[in-house]
């Protein structure tokens, strides 16, 4: 049993490192694996806690790259729709949603790799739509980062601004949904002692990710993110199909 708990925390650390480097992916990687240890509702809360810890670390370590305008335009609609998604967790089947989301991101990432000049126009309405959709999905299925990444990677932000902005938006969303999860008793008291451990792991993982990001050439960074998006989408599709 102790070995399984240690493995759970190691997985949390590795997913945060990868999530920091790509700007997303902590939940996409960690949630399916966490389901091997605990039920969905418990996994949703614990992954959210590790996610916010890693995002706080990334926001701190990359704070010089924060884009306040994007955070506002993306973050406000994200918060509103996250609340809706979080309240609907116990009422809506998430399997089909994951498959649809995964298919969309897979097509986007492959097309962007084939057509490097393709990008979502950095218009205000596109930013608001991206924030709304990612917030709703984050609250509902615990995974919204790949969609945020798909929108923001098209804005040609430098890697530090991209990671910092995504992390700050993630903090806002997680700070909105976690209290709702806890208020709805999704986490049993048995798992409360996981919270401080995951908080420490989040900071350590984001710091490790920062050290890796510093060594990635800027012209390689977008390709790394697009490949990560494609892999994340396949994981979403696979997980959705397995649950149908």
Domain hosting 196: range is 2-243
How is residue 173 written in tokens?
A: 């969303």
Specify burial of residue 33 (Cβ count, 10 A radius: 0-12, 13-18, 19+): middle
Q: Which residues contact 178 (CB under 8 A, 6 or more apart)?
A: 45, 48, 49, 52
How is residue 40 written in tokens?
A: 């969905």
Q: What is the pLDDT of residue 54?
A: 95
Over residues 117-146, the mean pLDDT reads: 80
H helices present in 25-94, as ranges: 26-34, 40-61, 68-87
Three-class secondary structure of residue 153 per DSSP:
helix
CB 147, CB 134: distance < 8 Å: yes
Whole-number Å distance between alpha carbons of 41 and 187 = 7
Cα 204 to Cα 14, 122, 178, 243: the distances in Å are 10, 33, 21, 33
pLDDT confidence band for 211 (50 / 70 / 90): very high
Q: Shortest CA distance to 21 belongs to which of 52, 75, 48, 61?
A: 61
| pLDDT of 243 above 60 | yes
Q: What is the pLDDT of residue 119?
A: 67
Kindly report, residue by residue over 142-182, the tens digit of the pLDDT: 777 777 877 887 777 888 988 998 899 889 889 989 999 99
Q: What is the pLDDT of residue 227?
A: 83
Three-class secondary structure of residue 194 per DSSP:
helix
The number of domains in the chain is: 1
Kindly report, residue by residue over 58-106, the tens digit of the pLDDT: 999 999 888 888 888 888 898 899 999 888 876 776 677 667 767 877 8
Q: What is the DSSP string of 205-244?
A: HHHHHHHHHTTS-HHHHHHHHHHHHHHHHHHHHHHHHHH-
Whole-number Å distance between alpha carbons of 138 and 48 = 9
CB 151, CB 134: distance < 8 Å: yes
Whole-number Å distance between alpha carbons of 186 and 90 = 10
| pLDDT of 1 above 60 | no
């Amino acid at each position: 049993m102790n070995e399984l708990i240690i493995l759970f925390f190691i997985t949390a650390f590795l997913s945060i490192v990868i999530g920091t480097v790509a700007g997303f992916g902590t939940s996409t990687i960690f949630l399916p694996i966490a389901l091997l240890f605990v039920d969905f509702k418990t996994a949703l809360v614990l992954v959210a806690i590790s996610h916010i810890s890693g995002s706080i670390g990334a926001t701190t370590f990359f704070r010089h790259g924060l884009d306040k305008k994007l955070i506002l335009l993306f973050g406000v609609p994200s918060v509103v729709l996250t609340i809706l998604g979080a309240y609907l967790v116990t009422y809506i089947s998430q399997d089909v949603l994951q498959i649809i989301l995964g298919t969309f991101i897979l097509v986007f990432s492959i097309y962007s790799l084939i057509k490097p000049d393709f990008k979502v126009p950095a218009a205000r309405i596109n930013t608001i739509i991206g924030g709304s959709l990612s917030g709703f999905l984050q609250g509902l299925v615990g995974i919204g980062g790949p969609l945020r990444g798909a929108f923001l990677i098209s804005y040609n932000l430098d890697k530090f601004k991209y990671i910092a902005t995504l992390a700050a938006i993630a903090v806002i969303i997680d700070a909105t949904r976690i209290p709702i999860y806890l208020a709805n008793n999704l986490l049993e008291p048995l798992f409360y002692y996981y919270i401080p451990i995951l908080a420490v792991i989040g900071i350590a993982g984001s710091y490790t990710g920062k050290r890796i990001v510093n060594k990635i050439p800027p012209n390689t960074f977008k390709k790394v993110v697009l490949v990560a998006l494609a892999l994340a989408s396949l994981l979403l599709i696979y997980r959705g199909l397995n649950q149908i």
